[in-house]
């Protein structure tokens, strides 16, 4: 059992959880939304729970949040195809056998921090407000005197820039 905050432990496994979520939701934007929801759950559970096996517990939280998201998408008819339960089980088995080492996860986390510093100040502040402060798009829009949809697009562009930057850093580390 670790004394680290739940959110910190959760972020140490970010790449594994994101891979799992992308496979379950079939899209990066949906996976990022569910990831954000899980981060909120981690914040809410802080002080209430200290799981003996954090990774297994967090994986179950991720799975349940993904299923809630998929159910919501079905109810609102955004999704046109249901995900086959057999496929979800196969994804879960693959996720459990994740070969990513702690060193690889640390490299990814280090690359993320470097890449965050490379974002322009506005994008960095929007990302911080959204992911660290858990601000809504509307609240962020109020700070920047713009629309919530403009904030969503800005954060989406920042995430894309971060993905590309992290990939470059990881490729350079491999070489």
Q: How far apart are the first and last CA of the chain?
A: 36
pLDDT tens-place string over residues 120-139: 999 989 988 888 888 888 89
Q: How far apart are CA 36 and CA 39, in angstroms?
A: 5
pLDDT tens-place string over residues 130-174: 888 888 888 999 999 999 889 999 999 999 999 899 899 888 888
Total-model pTM: 0.46
Helices 121-131 and 28-45 meet at what angle, rounded to 10?
60
Better-predicted residue by pLDDT, 158 or 76: 158
CA dihedral for 65, 67, 68, 73, sign (positive or negative): positive
Locate the DSSP E strands across 33-110. Answer: none
Q: Tell me: domain 102-174, CATH 1.10.10.10, correct? A: yes
Nearest of 89, 96, 75, 72 to residue 24 by alpha carbon: 89
Task: Enumerate the domain spans of the chain.
Answer: 6-96, 102-174
- Do residues 117 and 169 lie in contact, with contact meaning Cβ atoms separated by under 8 Å? no
Please tell me what DSSP assigns to residue 80. Answer: S
CA dihedral for 72, 74, 80, 83, sign (positive or negative): positive
**Residue tagged 């911080």 (tokens):** 128
The tokens of 160 are what?
A: 């894309």
């Amino acid at each position: 059992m670790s004394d680290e905050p739940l959110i910190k432990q959760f972020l140490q496994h970010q790449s594994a959880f994101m891979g799992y979520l992308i496979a379950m939701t079939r899209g990066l934007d949906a996976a990022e939304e569910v990831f954000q929801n899980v981060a909120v759950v981690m914040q809410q559970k802080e002080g209430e729970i200290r799981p003996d096996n954090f990774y297994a517990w967090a994986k179950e939280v991720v799975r349940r949040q993904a299923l809630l998201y998929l159910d919501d998408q079905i109810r609102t008819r955004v999704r046109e195809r249901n995900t086959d339960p057999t496929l979800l089980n196969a994804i879960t088995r693959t996720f459990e056998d994740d070969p990513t080492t702690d060193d690889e996860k640390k490299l990814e986390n280090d690359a993320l921090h470097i890449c965050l510093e490379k974002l322009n100040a506005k994008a960095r502040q929007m990302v911080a407000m959204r992911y660290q402060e858990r601000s809504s798009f509307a609240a962020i829009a109020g700070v920047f005197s713009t629309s919530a949809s403009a904030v969503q697009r800005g954060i989406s562009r920042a995430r894309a820039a971060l993905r590309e930057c992290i990939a470059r850093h990881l490729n350079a580390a491999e070489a």
